[in-house]
Amino acid sequence: MSHSVPASISPEGLTAFFHEQIPLTRAMGLRAIEASAHRLVLEAPLEPNRNHLGTAFGGSLHALPTLACYGAVWMTLREAGLDGHVVVRRSAATYRRAVAGALRAVCERPTGAAVEHFLVELRRHRKAGMELTALVEGAAGKTAVEFNGSFVALL
């Protein structure tokens, strides 16, 4: 599947990609607010993601960092001029505290040798994996959720 997103991806372009390709992100109110070479930051409002207690629903607290890491891998592909698919192989989240406001997930993007190795493997085998982490921030910037995932890119 080909997408008309340039190699340099703006937060608005990434948001549009998510809304088009993963409909749940539109319902969540997801927005990319930073899409740089160093990190990817996604936000979603509390209201469409709340539970019966008025705090963020656990599923949304898992989906948002999953999407941040997924987006980081997808951006790596696009920046390398590759049009592949990204899938989640494994994911785990540790919930530290409730989130009573907007949801915000931050994925620090891998750089340097890790990215080069990933791209070499991807070009050689048409498949490569990448381990990523993301944090969901709670009140006062304290970590609410720690997410770890294994993602696979396929050409």
Residue 35 lies in a domain: yes
Report the distance separating Cα 121 and Cα 18, nearest Å.
26
Residue 30 lies in a domain: yes
In total, how many domains does the chain have? 1
Q: How confident is the model at residue 146 (pLDDT cuts 50, 70, 90)?
A: very high
CATH number, domain with residue 22: 3.10.129.10
Residue 117 lies in a domain: yes
pLDDT tens digit sequence for 65-98: 999 999 999 999 999 999 999 999 999 999 999 9
Q: How confident is the model at residue 110 (pLDDT cuts 50, 70, 90)?
A: very high
Q: How confident is the model at residue 1 (pLDDT cuts 50, 70, 90)?
A: very low
> Around Cβ 94, how many Cβ atoms within 10 Å?
10
Residues of the domain holding 97: 11-154
pTM: 0.93
Residue 1 lies in a domain: no
Q: Please, what's the b/e burial string for 48-67 (b: 16 or more CB within 10 A of its CB; e: otherwise)?
A: ebbeeeebbbeebbbbbbbb
Task: Check whether 42 has a pLDDT greater than 60.
Answer: yes
Report the distance separating Cα 42 and Cα 24, nearest Å.
14
Residue 22 lies in a domain: yes
